[in-house]
A and B are shown apart, each in its own frame.
Chain A
Amino acid sequence: MLLTLTTTHRPATDLGYLLVKHPDRVHSFELPVGAAHVVYPEADERRCTAALLVDVDPLRLAGGRGGGRGRSQSAAPDTFTLSQYVNDRPYAASSLLSSALAKVFRSALRGESRDRPELAAAPIPLQVRVPVLRCRGGSDLASRVFAPLGWAVTAVPIPLDETHPGWGDSRYVDLTLTGTLRLADALNHLYVLLPVLDDAKHYWVAPDEIDKLLRAGAGWLSDHPERATITRRYLAHQRALAGEAMARLAEQQLAEEPPPDSVAGEEHAGAPRQPSLALRRREAVLAALEASGATRVLDLGCGPGALLSALVGDRRYTEIVGTDVSTQALTLAARRLRLDRLPERQRDRIRLWQSALTYRDDRLRGYDAAVLMEVIEHVDPPRLPALEDAVFGHARPATVVVTTPNAEHNVRYEGLGAGRFRHADHRFEWTRAEFAAWVDRVAAAYGYTASIRGVGDDDPEVGPPTQLAMFRTVATGTTVETDTAAAAGLAEAR
């Protein structure tokens, strides 16, 4: 990967003093992933260019020489796992380049110069070129982050493949920045913003990254209009870290300049904020459970445990079981519920099990109620009869609460194209009529009575955003033979 730095300051060769790299020599440095070289392709009175070239060793990048470390953590074998061996890191500017920059131009980054201290403190005409920069967010974002700092920005998209023009542009741009800035400022901008645009850090983001960011961003980041994006990306999407950094940035801002009149992003006073649909859905489900009188409940497809937290907080529920097919989701749920820190008696109420709703699971039998909150739409329609058998036929709780999107309501969502689903993994979304037909069929087949209600604001034309069905087993006395009922259900569904 390559970065060039050109000045037309006279004498241009003073750039060598500022960078502490003699223009007539080749400067090489050892890096953890390869080598860095500084060479000057041009160096005369009028114009001088320093090039920083990082020569990445692919073997070192992959970690360990030769084979061995090729461990794919592939729960889903279709996922691409070769990317750790075949990737753009040797070519595209990234945090690797930033690291090299910090190592090679350390004193210049700090604005120090033994030989030319005044020049180091003065803005000089500069041109920076990064021929290949991965720019997530497109060339537009490159302009938004560099232009406010005084740069004229040219970001030319690089085509993905000249032999396949139909594929359009790649995610890379050829970036040129022109401006009159202090060299140290220019280097700090690059140090922070190249990885931000690349948006894929090569190393583990530790809390001391905040200090690095604040140090390099001193004087320009705290009032940068894109500081939120920059902070979030620089800290590699670690929300807790980014939040702390933003708070510290705000303190700096107070120290540096008078407080602004209004704080952006604050809620308008007066208008009460609508609770989110997710919250209203959760409340509707909790109300249905409460009405059922259940005390031992199943949250089937519990995900990271949003509903479980609410259930755990309610003493009426003596046994709470969350199931999900994803062990990762269960780990998140356990963390959210702080299972390892709960007192024993609390913890004994909660169970988290991996289970799949298309398989019968004996552990799920004998509970008062089961919740399928935004779950069925993640099951392929041909597999629904298996879910029906497993839940209504086999687990057979007295109450089943099901929620699912109302597809008719989708027209109310801006930006959701016609025929598109609300979530990429949804296998279907039903209209009110389709949901009602399913509810009726399942209730009849398995000996339940059912009622349907809406969740969220009931739109007169397209109905509420979410639909909720509550199934109750038919009162005992009328025995329904599970087997034939199940068979009937399966038959009808096919």
Chain B
Amino acid sequence: MIDIPELALVALVGVSGSGKSTFARRHFAPSQVLSSDAFRGMVADDENDQSASADAFDALHHVAGIRLRRGLLTVVDATNLQPHARAGLVRVAREHDVLPVAIVLDVPEAVAWERTQGRADRTHGRQVLARMQRDLRQSYGRLAREGFRKVHVLRGVDEIDAAEIRYEKLLNDRRELTGPFDIVGDIHGCREELEALLLRLDYVLRHDDAGRPVDAVHPAGRTAVFVGDLVDRGPDSPGVLRLVMGMVAAGHAICVPGNHEQKLLRKLRGRDVRLTHGLAETMAQLAAEPAEFVAEVAAFVDGLVSHFVLDGGRLVVAHAGLKEEYQGRASGRVRAFALFGETTGETDEYGLPVRYPWARDYRGSAMVVYGHTPTPEPEWVNNTICVDTGCVFGGRLTALRYPERELVSVPAAREWYAPARPLVAPTPARPDTVLDLRDVTGRRHVEHAYGTLTVPAENAAAALEVMSRFAVDPRWLTWLPPTMAPCSTATAEEFLEHPAQALADYRAAGVDRVVCEEKHMGSRAVVLVCRDPDGGPFGPGGGVVHTRTGRPFFGPPHDGELLGRVRAAVGAAGLWAELDTDWLLLDCELLPWSAKAGGLIREQYASVGAAGRAALPAVLATLDAAVGRGLPVDDLRDRMAARLADVEAYSAAYRAYVGPTDGLAGVTLAPFAVLASAGASHVDRDHGWHLDLADRLCATDPGFFTVTRRRVVDLADASAEADAIGWWLALTAAGGEGMVVKPYAGLAARSPKGSLLQPGIKCRGREYLRIIYGPGYTDPEQLAALRRRSLGRKRGLALREHALGLAALAALADGAPLWRRHELVFAILACESEPVDPRL
């Protein structure tokens, strides 16, 4: 039985003909085995071309490195008889912090020779085999020294044939533990505070006969996790050890070592260790304990594993934190990082090492909880948090409840130890405000709860320009509205879009209930409003109003004024308390269209109307005169008359969306969805809830807000459908843009088959469409051509953007780090640079 770690670099060692390839085939998947012969073939078209060996091993090492980086077991099928060849493999393994393992296949030379002769492509002589055999003998003693952590030797054909591989988990792999956990920060001998904290967390303490706490149990079965630095500086390190060791032994807690435990162990082992940084206190306290307790302590610390990967890989605990590449890996430097963190190599004015802020660059998906560096206030940085709140220095002892993400702490009884440097106030700038170009550029695969989206590099490049030059601060840019597909093209005579199709689209998707919302013809406005006009969790400023592409809406001062109106309404409607939040994200339409798009209306729409209204009467006058002269131009004249009527209708269409505004005067806001609030994404609430909240906002300030009119339609109810169609006809006849049909269940509605539905389907009015398709699009010939429009691309795009938007809202609610939220929002913007018919 051969035990090898689940993630390892396995070097097969053996002479030519020892059966390495056969062994590899029998025990490993073909993709796991990198054979030197195959690589020789790859680089030289000849598996036996020894002159290609250097290049072949170059390529082999490269591929092995990539596999190990990706966390895949890798087996190297080569003779590996010479130290330099093995050194290359050990180096690759170390670079990726995995254990190198050697499996030696030792067969009698005669067997190897027999097999070699049986192969037509092996031409080397017996003396070569003899040399290999010598190399193998010499290798035996060296393998362990060369860095192979496990060496398995299989002697003889029978032993080789009988061998079985068994995989063993790494000690740090505790993914099966799912918690819930209470992760306790650096204790440093503060037993009193530890007891108080455990009680606060509802643990029940158990005491020994001397009344000393030796265990603590949580009635709900929670597990305590200690991030290390149990000892030194404080008043009762033995007491802390006794309690923690008891909890670990009873299975009520797990513990990773801190640098102080490491140093204590070295001292206990009799090494020459300076009694600084509070070790003297611990040694003095331990001197009062019986020798067997001290021995237990040494054994306990010696058995601690540098870090744990927990809860299916979603949680990592290490004393000083752990970067993504090191998680679940085992090597000296992984252990050193877990114990000491990363330092810049510099020391600060207090003589303490300057720590490299690894968390700022952290992009891993696992939450990392750690201690080591005392801070007054724990702060989330890119899904990592340091829970050392300097208890021994007179701060607090803190625990993080997982998965709740709640912090619980108790104050220190007093300052037990004077800090070498003052605990700095938390930096007011959130360190995760820093974005890296790698987070957004290049061809990217953005993974999220609704799938994986591939962003082509050129789309990302286009989005980068828009985002960095025109968009609001990324901290405030939490979501972008997805593009919306129109309904399937109408079949009824004079319509291109008709509600019957919109309803049929959802019916076909298995939806039984929809809401038809009036489509306001204005400009999309996403409003993120904070209760505090100057602050809030997104940085100073109180909120933001942005367009569908993330640009500031009007810019100062109107955006601030607009936010003020919304803030007041949210307060008056009582929503801050009701949703238990200090901010709200609203999806709205701002009216009239001319408020934001006045320039566009004048430059494009009115100009076309002016040209048409001036040109066509002149044309008609000319043709009338020609008709008067008896020329056969009646058909042409009638066509031109129809065209003039179209231009008049077109002019009426755009005029309906023009209203007098002066600053915010004349502007109204029509909210229709409450997307998110503190800690909550509201995508699973039905549209009744969203519209009810919107109505309540409108009721507090009817002069500023516009109500979104709607009809709820049961798709099985023919009369409700007819009513909705009649309503749409009336709305559009009165100059309305049309309506949006949405699954009543809410934004994240899914089909009965479980796939995400279009969040809305627009159904635009016949007259409105003149400003999209041209004044005369209703001409039967044009209409026939336009009916051949293809919607697939637009629908696909709408769904992709919608999924990203849902993921962005979830990330916002979960307090995900900025880079992650930005990655998702950025991807939505990148989708928008897809070439799609702009008329859809």
Q: Taking the complex as formed, is B84 at the interface, i.e. its CB lies under 8 A from any CB of chain A?
A: no
Query: Which residue of the partner chain, among A41, A74, A83, contacts B629 with CB atoms under 8 Å?
Result: A41
Query: Which residue of the partner chain, among A43, A58, A131, A167, contacts B606 with CB atoms under 8 Å?
Result: A167
Establish whether residues B633 and A37, one from each chain, have CB atoms under 8 Å apart when the complex forms. Answer: yes
Q: Taking the complex as formed, is A81 at the interface, i.e. its CB lies under 8 A from any CB of chain B?
A: yes
What is the distance, in angstroms, from B592's C-beta to the closest C-beta of chain A? 13
Establish whether residues A131 and B360, one from each chain, have CB atoms under 8 Å apart when the complex forms. Answer: no
Chain B residues contacting A158 (CB-CB under 8 Å) are: 610-611, 614
What is the distance, in angstroms, from B821's C-beta to the closest C-beta of chain A? 15
- Stretch in B115-123, B326-334, B692-700, B829-837 touching the partner: B829-837
Establish whether residues A131 and B614, one from each chain, have CB atoms under 8 Å apart when the complex forms. Answer: yes
Establish whether residues B607 and A73, one from each chain, have CB atoms under 8 Å apart when the complex forms. Answer: no
Would A483 and B651 be within 8 Å (CB), given that A67-B788, A72-B838, A325-B469 are in contact?
Answer: no
Chain B residues contacting A382 (CB-CB under 8 Å) are: 473
Establish whether residues B611 and A92, one from each chain, have CB atoms under 8 Å apart when the complex forms. Answer: yes
Query: Which residue of the partner chain, among B611, B612, B626, B777, contacts A39 with CB atoms under 8 Å?
Result: B626
Q: Taking the complex as formed, is B466 at the interface, i.e. its CB lies under 8 A from any CB of chain A?
A: yes
Establish whether residues B437 and A360, one from each chain, have CB atoms under 8 Å apart when the complex forms. Answer: yes
Number of A-B contacts (CB under 8 A): 244
Establish whether residues B427 and A82, one from each chain, have CB atoms under 8 Å apart when the complex forms. Answer: no
Q: Taking the complex as formed, is B428 at the interface, i.e. its CB lies under 8 A from any CB of chain A?
A: yes
Establish whether residues B604 and A86, one from each chain, have CB atoms under 8 Å apart when the complex forms. Answer: yes
Q: Report the bound CA distance from A306 to B782 in whole Å.
A: 49
What is the distance, in angstroms, from A404's C-beta to the closest C-beta of chain B? 17
Query: Which residue of the partner chain, among B360, B468, B632, B832, contacts A325 with CB atoms under 8 Å?
Result: B468
Chain B residues contacting A72 (CB-CB under 8 Å) are: 835-838
Would A2 and B618 be within 8 Å (CB), given that A354-B441, A354-B461 are in contact?
Answer: yes
41-77 of chain A: CB within 8 A of chain B: 41-43, 51, 53, 55, 58-59, 65-68, 70-77
Q: Taking the complex as formed, is A295 at the interface, i.e. its CB lies under 8 A from any CB of chain B?
A: no
**Proximity string of chain B (633-668) to chain A, C-beta cutoff 8 Å, 1 when within and 0 when not:** 100100100010001000100010010000000000
Chain B CB within 10 A, most for which of A25, A70, A87, A163: A70
Closest chain A residue, CB of each to CB of B628: A41
Chain A CB within 10 A, most for which of B435, B614, B655, B836: B614
Chain A residues contacting B433 (CB-CB under 8 Å) are: 386, 490
What is the distance, in angstroms, from A77's C-beta to the closest C-beta of chain B? 4
Q: Taking the complex as formed, is A8 at the interface, i.e. its CB lies under 8 A from any CB of chain B?
A: no
What is the distance, in angstroms, from B546's C-beta to the closest C-beta of chain A? 11
- Stretch in A169-177, A199-207, A222-230, A265-273 touching the partner: A169-177
Q: Taking the complex as formed, is B346 at the interface, i.e. its CB lies under 8 A from any CB of chain A?
A: yes
Establish whether residues B833 and A77, one from each chain, have CB atoms under 8 Å apart when the complex forms. Answer: yes
Establish whether residues B626 and A41, one from each chain, have CB atoms under 8 Å apart when the complex forms. Answer: yes
Establish whether residues B606 and A160, one from each chain, have CB atoms under 8 Å apart when the complex forms. Answer: yes
Establish whether residues B464 and A354, one from each chain, have CB atoms under 8 Å apart when the complex forms. Answer: yes
Q: Taking the complex as formed, is B341 at the interface, i.e. its CB lies under 8 A from any CB of chain A?
A: no
Chain A residues contacting B790 (CB-CB under 8 Å) are: 67-68
What is the distance, in angstroms, from B386's C-beta to the closest C-beta of chain A? 14
Query: Which residue of the partner chain, among A1, A354, A362, contacts B438 with CB atoms under 8 Å?
Result: A362
Q: Report the bound CA distance from A99 to B134 in whole Å.
A: 91
345-376 of chain A: CB within 8 A of chain B: 354-362
Query: Which residue of the partner chain, among B441, B469, B625, contacts A41 with CB atoms under 8 Å?
Result: B625
What is the distance, in angstroms, from A80's C-beta to the closest C-beta of chain B? 6
CB pairs A–B below 8 angstroms (8 shown): A41-B626, A75-B462, A90-B612, A131-B615, A160-B610, A327-B465, A356-B465, A360-B434
Q: Which residues of B contact A (CB under 8 A)?
A: 344, 346, 348, 354, 357, 360, 427-429, 431, 433-441, 458, 461-462, 464-470, 473, 539-540, 547-549, 551, 600, 602, 604-612, 614-616, 618-619, 621-626, 628-629, 631-633, 636, 639, 643, 647, 651, 655, 658, 771-777, 782, 785-790, 829, 832-833, 835-840
Known: A358-B435, A382-B473, A481-B344. 19 other contacts (CB 8 A): A24-B631, A26-B633, A40-B626, A41-B629, A43-B629, A58-B782, A77-B549, A92-B615, A161-B609, A325-B468, A357-B468, A358-B468, A359-B435, A360-B437, A361-B436, A378-B469, A386-B433, A481-B354, A483-B431
Q: Taking the complex as formed, is A438 at the interface, i.e. its CB lies under 8 A from any CB of chain B?
A: no
Establish whether residues B631 and A26, one from each chain, have CB atoms under 8 Å apart when the complex forms. Answer: yes
Chain A residues contacting B789 (CB-CB under 8 Å) are: 66-67
Establish whether residues A86 and B771, one from each chain, have CB atoms under 8 Å apart when the complex forms. Answer: yes
Establish whether residues B437 and A389, one from each chain, have CB atoms under 8 Å apart when the complex forms. Answer: no
Establish whether residues A91 and B614, one from each chain, have CB atoms under 8 Å apart when the complex forms. Answer: yes
Q: Report the bound CA distance from A197 to B52 in whole Å.
A: 71
What is the distance, in angstroms, from A425's C-beta to the closest C-beta of chain B? 8
What is the distance, in angstroms, from A124's C-beta to the closest C-beta of chain B? 21
Q: Report the bound CA distance from A55 to B642 in whole Å.
A: 13
Would A161 and B551 be within 8 Å (CB), given that A66-B788, A491-B428 are in contact?
Answer: no
Chain A residues contacting B466 (CB-CB under 8 Å) are: 75-77
Q: Taking the complex as formed, is A132 at the interface, i.e. its CB lies under 8 A from any CB of chain B?
A: yes
What is the distance, in angstroms, from B643's C-beta to the closest C-beta of chain A? 8
Query: Which residue of the partner chain, among B606, B622, B651, B833, contacts A75 with CB atoms under 8 Å?
Result: B833
Chain A residues contacting B787 (CB-CB under 8 Å) are: 66
Would A81 and B838 be within 8 Å (CB), given that A39-B626, A361-B437 are in contact?
Answer: yes
Q: Report the bound CA distance from A360 to B473 in whole Å.
A: 15
Chain B residues contacting A76 (CB-CB under 8 Å) are: 462, 465-466, 470, 549
Chain A residues contacting B429 (CB-CB under 8 Å) are: 385, 486-487, 490-491, 494
Chain B residues contacting A425 (CB-CB under 8 Å) are: 469
What is the distance, in angstroms, from B500's C-beta to the closest C-beta of chain A? 21
